[in-house]
Chains A and B, each alone.
Chain A
């Protein structure tokens, strides 16, 4: 069996819950994984050591980890990680780090793995319009999509060691600009309500926002909406040229269901579609379809959800 190494995903110095899913994926590829925890100190290492099935924990400690910088992170993590199959999260920074680590070691990187069956890894291609099944010819770096592997439980007791690293940063954050809205990002949300051009006017997205607030959801948009209205930023776009999302619930309102949109949200656990056109392709992919205008359906949806969730 290959040696496997998990690079922990962290968020503001804390262990991100997806790390527990990475441990499960790594365990499917080889022996009990070594878990590398990057950080400016070793404070996240204890939570990492508690994950069941982890062989050992290495806290990779360095000043470079105060903000994401690809080249110094890759250098420091590479120095701490033994040879083997390296597993990262398929997050924005996780995929970036995976690429640099693999290049540093002159091995392949396999991104967005959604299934592991024996030695076969499965990843979506063409934004999920097809799946690619591959095997590895040796060591590689792979990234794992969130919400596709069960999370490892707690109660582990892996030994923690600390490796101090110093690496010069190549990019320097000058200022953090607060986001225009405090609204949840679609890439992070477990529930998403998205609007398309069928919303008729960007001002009508406030209806979606009110429902999102009730649900604790993010507001998304189709490419047609983003391209048509300047008020709808690209950061909201779900689809092949926007964000690929994998929430528990995706509510599509006034979205016809173009292939490019479906590619970004088809793996959502439950899909609800509201569209006035009964022939809209989105209904073929919806668990629950409602043929109705948004003007009629959304007020009822809002009052029902408010009654249910307060």
Chain B
């Protein structure tokens, strides 16, 4: 019976406007959500439990406001919720983040970890494979299909020459793309249970950051374009794409 962990992250809603104020992004007045791909990881963890048994532990890294995503996972039906944090921490780099999360995974005795293929804030896709390397585990990333077997799992990974049906033995870290499952919604009982659930706090020793964040800046703006009224202008645009832009 596998023990299952799922890594989830609190991020700004993907529909949120992100503004830069001074030299940092201004994240006040933003709606926060569970990172969209993590919802698929959470569903994968619950499917795994239903197929093979075991406990599911949801783990996040962050300050106390991140308890919300853990409670959301609890409402879905995970067994344990763990938040990794120390008050002295602030913007952690990838190395610090992975060390802290790997330490929490070890604490759960999990032998399979699901996570989203990337988080909607950094888009980095570093955490899953990075945690796997620190644990000395296998990893498969960006999966678009998942099946459970007696001694491991089978995943489908998109590759240049097709989709690779791939066997993965445990322990392993699996990063999930969208599309192979439909994340379930919490029911009323789950939401009530989640309200009372205790968040376990996990601390970890982390090294100094390997990077300095100098500044955040708005993205480069393009020069305003031309807008034409009516389909009769399509030939004009095609000519411009051919002669001015040189892209066709």
Contacts and interface: CB of A to CB of B under 8 A. Distances in A.
Contacts of A71: 132-133, 137-139
A246 interface: no
A278 B37 CA distance: 33
Contact of A297 (B137, B159, B210, B234): B234
Interface string B71-96: 00000000000000000000001110
A111 B211 contact: no
Interface in B133-187: 133-134, 137-142, 144, 154, 156-169, 172, 177-179
Contacts of B137: 71, 170
Contact of B124 (A109, A176, A270): A109
B214 A126 contact: no
B123 A290 contact: no
A131 B123 CA distance: 12
Contacts of B226: 287-289
Interface stretch (B17-25, B47-55, B62-70, B106-114): B17-25
A117 B235 CA distance: 41
Interface string A11-45: 11000000000000000000000000000000000
A171 B121 contact: no
Nearest to A292: B231
B222 A109 contact: no
A170 B156 CA distance: 15
Contacts of B224: 284
Interface in A85-136: 92, 95-100, 102-104, 106-112, 120, 124-136
A138 interface: yes
Contacts of B131: 103
Nearest to A240: B14
A240 to B, nearest CB: 5
Interface residues of B, number: 91
A191 B139 CA distance: 33
Contact of B134 (A95, A103, A301): A103
Contact of B165 (A97, A177, A179): A177
Contacts of A210: none
Instruction: Give the one of A132, A237, A284, A296 with max B CB within 10 A.
Output: A132
Interface stretch (A50-58, A151-159, A197-205, A259-267): A259-267
Contact of A124 (B36, B123, B132): B123
B142 A234 contact: no
A38 to B, nearest CB: 15
A133 B133 CA distance: 27
Interface residues of A, number: 93
A183 B219 CA distance: 31
A103 B134 CA distance: 6
A68 interface: yes
B237 A290 contact: yes
Contacts of A92: 141-142, 158
A244 B162 contact: no
B228 A290 contact: yes
A111 B125 contact: yes
Nearest to B19: A130
A131 B138 CA distance: 32
B36 A241 contact: yes
A260 B138 CA distance: 32
A277 B218 CA distance: 27
B179 to A, nearest CB: 4
Contacts of B163: 176-177, 179
Contacts of B36: 241
Contacts of A112: 123-124
Contacts of A301: 234, 238
A125 B210 contact: no
Interface of B: 12, 14-18, 20, 25, 36-37, 93-95, 98-99, 120-134, 137-142, 144, 154, 156-169, 172, 177-179, 207-220, 222, 224-235, 237-238, 240-242, 245, 247-248
Instruction: Kindly list the 10 A-B residue pairs having the minimum CB-CB distance in the complex, ordered from nearest.
Output: A108-B210, A170-B138, A289-B227, A103-B133, A296-B231, A234-B179, A129-B18, A292-B231, A287-B225, A99-B129
Interface of A: 11-12, 67-68, 70-71, 74, 92, 95-100, 102-104, 106-112, 120, 124-138, 140, 170-179, 188, 191, 215, 233-235, 237, 240-242, 244, 248-249, 258-260, 263, 266, 269-272, 278, 283-293, 296-297, 300-301, 304-305, 308-309
30 contacts: A68-B159, A71-B132, A71-B139, A96-B129, A96-B142, A103-B133, A109-B124, A129-B18, A130-B218, A132-B213, A133-B213, A133-B214, A133-B216, A171-B138, A171-B168, A172-B167, A173-B166, A174-B166, A177-B156, A177-B162, A177-B164, A215-B248, A235-B144, A259-B14, A278-B229, A287-B225, A290-B234, A300-B235, A305-B248, A308-B238
